[in-house]
Amino acid sequence: MRRPHIRSVAVAVAVTTAATGLAGTAFAGPDTGVERSAASAGTNTSAAVVKAARTAAFTHASATGVAQGDELHAQDVMIDPEGARHVRFARTHSGMPVLGGDLVVHLDAELAYTGVTRAAGHTVTPATTRARLTAQQAAAKAAQVAKGDAGSARLVVDARAGASALAYQVTVTDQQGTNTVVVDAVTGKVRSNTPDSDEFLSPKLLADLRKHGQTLDPATGTAAAPDSALAASGVAPYPTAGKGTGKTLFVGTVGLTTTATSKGHYLLKDPTRYGTETRDAKGSTTEKFSAGSTFTSTTDVWGNGTTGNRASAAADAQYGITKTLDFYRSTFGRKGIADNSKAAQGMVHWGSRVANAFWDPTCNCMLYGDGDGKTFKKPLVVLDVTGHELTHGVVDATAKLEPTYVDAQGNQYGEPGALNESLADVFGSNVEFYANNKNDTPDYLIGEKLGLAQKFLRRLDHPSLDKLEGTIDSWTPDTYYTEVHAGSGVSSHAYYLLAEGSGKKTINGVAYDSPTSNHSTVKGIGRTKATAIFYRALTRYMVSTTDFHGARVATLQAAKDLYGANSTEYKTVDKAWAAVNVTAANTPAARP
């Protein structure tokens, strides 16, 4: 069984602010006031912004933490409507990639430095750059630990655990996929061994469901009119866009944009959404999308609403993927999962008796199992599962939030990983609201169509009503040791309180009753504003080690950007986090 993907294990660090007055956060303001960059001020080109940000990072080294031997490699350039610029950097030291060395440099409209968000609060320079292990020895160690075939070992700096060390990074491949193993280059200790995929259901949850004999038979949709016109578009040169019909397992009959390859021949590929396509893995565990079999049709009708037709699950997957892409583009102007105008692919019928679905960065695609035939009896192609998992892809492309450690069974722990799961639930829920499909009522419940006895997997309004995973409502110091799906309730609850407020409420026929840990009353600002704040916080002010207190500061900064420091929105963000016991006063000290 595959396990959740993380590229590295990290711990959150706190960096004191100077300009914002928001103590105990990874957002640091200028150390000596605003200084003009050497880059041409006022230029809107990405090259000029990157140059200005890189120059500012070295000029303000005491705040940014960059040092001699460091090189900054731009991963993303974000330009806000009001003019602010943000450049996300990966770091190398003496030519070696730095794990946990990511940072975001913030500039104003004139390219002047305004602050930094950094993952590591310490210098990334290792104590030694001389390895005692050879690359061959490190690869052999990695192969032994991960039980597979090791690729070549490369030297890296591992700056994830409060100090920096010289290490080897090795990719190990087995029949189930790949693992990334990091081996200390001096001591030979395995610093991390992590699978390269993000699963929807944790190993612990699957084991508990099987132990208690729960059989999940997800509720299917009913036949309904498609959500787009299905009439033929007339004669056109090929290939061209087709207007297909998906007869899905879960959301009824829907419209799908397809590719007409010739007269009467169609491919389940959407040319209007970057060429997004769903293929059939046919029971294989391939991580190469090109190895999947294409879905073709002579009728442009996909599936028949039952598992007996292999295209039914494909119709669900294609619908979910394209609706997620549409949500991100319509709401935030994000063009694709990585904001690079590239397709988000999907493969259904992946593996044999796989009771899971996950985002796989190796193939940059969604992989869907058919269920194990016992606990899960249908493919996991539910809409909010797709929205949740593709959001892991968005996090991969932005903050790269990572758990602090993984146990021998593959369960993840730690606040950055829990924040990752929470954001996937938050935006996955928003995909449902965006799609507004009457066969899958938009709600703040996650996995409500999976057929669980408790009627949902997780919920945002009152997370602790989830007894399966033991999801928590609010933060305590022990949250650091909580499995990430259970820990996700802290920020999911804060989001719900920000959007809808505390107390009782009925939305789309679903009853909610959200408590607060401090017995306060929170009046929500609406889902649209709350979602805008959380997205801006993710893309501008979160890094791989951001914990819940860091998320509080990131969302406050985002609210300040969007609505002002004296706004109701800003004040409500603060109240929402306080209501889940995340405050400036109880910010924990950085872990060694």
Q: Give the pLDDT mean for 213-227.
A: 55
pLDDT of residue 25: 31
pLDDT beyond 70 at 432: yes
Contact 271, 260 (CB under 8 A): no
Please tell me the least confidently modeled range out of 40-44, 59-63, 521-525: 40-44
Q: How many CA atoms lie within 13 A of 323 on its CB side?
A: 32
- Beta-carbon neighbour count of residue 208 at 10 Å? 14
pLDDT of residue 219: 57
In the set 199, 277, 389, 402, the catalytic residue is 389
pLDDT beyond 80 at 346: yes
Three-state DSSP class for 155?
strand
**CA angle 354–10–108, rounded 5-degree value:** 110
CATH class, domain 402-591, is mainly alpha
pLDDT beyond 80 at 263: yes
- Give, for 368, the enclosing helix (H) or strand (E): strand 365-368
pLDDT tens-digit readout, 99-111: 999 999 999 999 9
What lies within 8 Å, CB to CB, of 478 at 6+ separation is none
Please tell me the least confidently modeled range out of 361-365, 478-482, 489-493, 544-548: 361-365
Phi and psi (nearest 5°) for 318?
Answer: -65, -40
pLDDT beyond 50 at 234: no
pLDDT of residue 33: 29
CATH class, domain 135-196, is alpha beta
Q: How far apart are the first and last CA of the chain?
A: 33
Place of tokens 């009782």: 504
Phi and psi (nearest 5°) for 37?
Answer: -80, 160
pLDDT of residue 163: 86
pLDDT of residue 10: 31
Residues of the chain with CATH 3.10.170.10: 197-215+237-397
pLDDT tens-digit readout, 367-406: 999 988 888 888 999 999 999 999 999 999 999 998 888 7
pLDDT of residue 537: 98
- Beta-carbon neighbour count of residue 113 at 10 Å? 28
d(CA 328, CA 75): 19
pLDDT of residue 535: 98
pLDDT beyond 50 at 511: yes
- Beta-carbon neighbour count of residue 186 at 10 Å? 16
pLDDT beyond 70 at 496: yes
pLDDT of residue 215: 64
pLDDT beyond 70 at 127: yes
Contact 282, 349 (CB under 8 A): yes
Q: Which amino acid is at 47?
A: A
Burial 522-534, CB ≥16 within 10 A → b, else e: bebbebebbbbbb
d(CA 318, CA 312): 10
What radius of gyration, in Å, describes the C-alpha atoms of the chain? 24
pLDDT of residue 577: 98
d(CA 324, CA 344): 10
CATH (one of 3.30.310.50, 3.40.1160.10, 3.30.70.330, 3.10.450.490) for 46-118: 3.10.450.490
Contact 14, 105 (CB under 8 A): no
Name beta bridge partners: 505. Answer: 512
d(CA 356, CA 3): 10
pLDDT of residue 44: 46
Q: How confident is the model at residue 508 (pLDDT cuts 50, 70, 90)?
A: very high
Q: Is the peptide bond before 81 cis (omega within 30 degrees of 0)?
A: no
Please tell me the least confidently modeled range out of 82-91, 405-414, 517-526: 405-414
pLDDT of residue 17: 30
pLDDT beyond 50 at 436: yes
pLDDT tens-digit readout, 568-590: 999 999 999 999 999 999 999 87
pLDDT beyond 70 at 341: yes
Please tell me the least confidently modeled range out of 67-71, 113-117, 404-408: 404-408
Spacing of C-alpha 515 from chain mean position: 26
d(CA 148, CA 171): 9
What lies within 8 Å, CB to CB, of 132 at 6+ separation is 185, 186, 187, 188
Please tell me the least confidently modeled range out of 7-21, 116-130, 166-180, 440-454: 7-21
pLDDT beyond 70 at 51: yes
pLDDT above 70 as % of the chain: 86
Q: How confident is the model at residue 212 (pLDDT cuts 50, 70, 90)?
A: low
**Which tokens is 352 given?**
């044999």
Three-state DSSP class for 3?
coil
pLDDT beyond 80 at 333: yes
Q: How confident is the model at residue 168 (pLDDT cuts 50, 70, 90)?
A: very high
d(CA 473, CA 572): 18
- Could you say which DSSP state residue 591 is in? P
pLDDT beyond 70 at 466: yes
Contact 481, 416 (CB under 8 A): no
pLDDT of residue 237: 84
Dump the DSSP string for 316-344.
Answer: HHHHHHHHHHHHHHHHH---STTSSS---
In the set 349, 388, 485, 549, the catalytic residue is 485
Average pLDDT over all residues of the chain: 87
- Beta-carbon neighbour count of residue 589 at 10 Å? 8
pLDDT of residue 177: 73
Pairing of strands 240-247, 301-302: parallel
Q: How confident is the model at residue 34 (pLDDT cuts 50, 70, 90)?
A: very low
**Which tokens is 458 given?**
């997780």
**Which tokens is 327 given?**
């949500």
**Which tokens is 426 given?**
């938050």
Task: Mark whether 485 is an active-site residue.
Answer: yes
Pairing of strands 296-297, 301-302: unpaired
Task: Mark whether 86 is an active-site residue.
Answer: no
pLDDT of residue 11: 28
pLDDT of residue 310: 97
pLDDT of residue 24: 28
pLDDT tens-digit readout, 133-157: 999 999 999 999 988 999 999 999 9
E strand segments, 6-112: 27-28, 70-79, 85-93, 96-99, 103-107
Long-range contacts of 39-45 (CB under 8 A, 24+ apart): 39/111, 40/111, 41/110, 41/111, 41/112, 42/109, 42/110, 42/111, 43/111, 44/79
Q: How confident is the model at residue 37 (pLDDT cuts 50, 70, 90)?
A: very low
d(CA 384, CA 443): 10
pLDDT beyond 60 at 7: no
Residues of the chain with CATH 3.10.450.490: 46-118
Tell me the CATH number for domain 197-215+237-397. Answer: 3.10.170.10
What lies within 8 Å, CB to CB, of 157 at 6+ separation is 93, 96, 97, 98, 99, 101, 124, 125, 126, 164, 165, 166, 167
Instruction: Pick the more confident residue, 219 or 18.
Output: 219
**Which tokens is 284 given?**
């294989």
What lies within 8 Å, CB to CB, of 304 at 6+ separation is 247, 311, 312
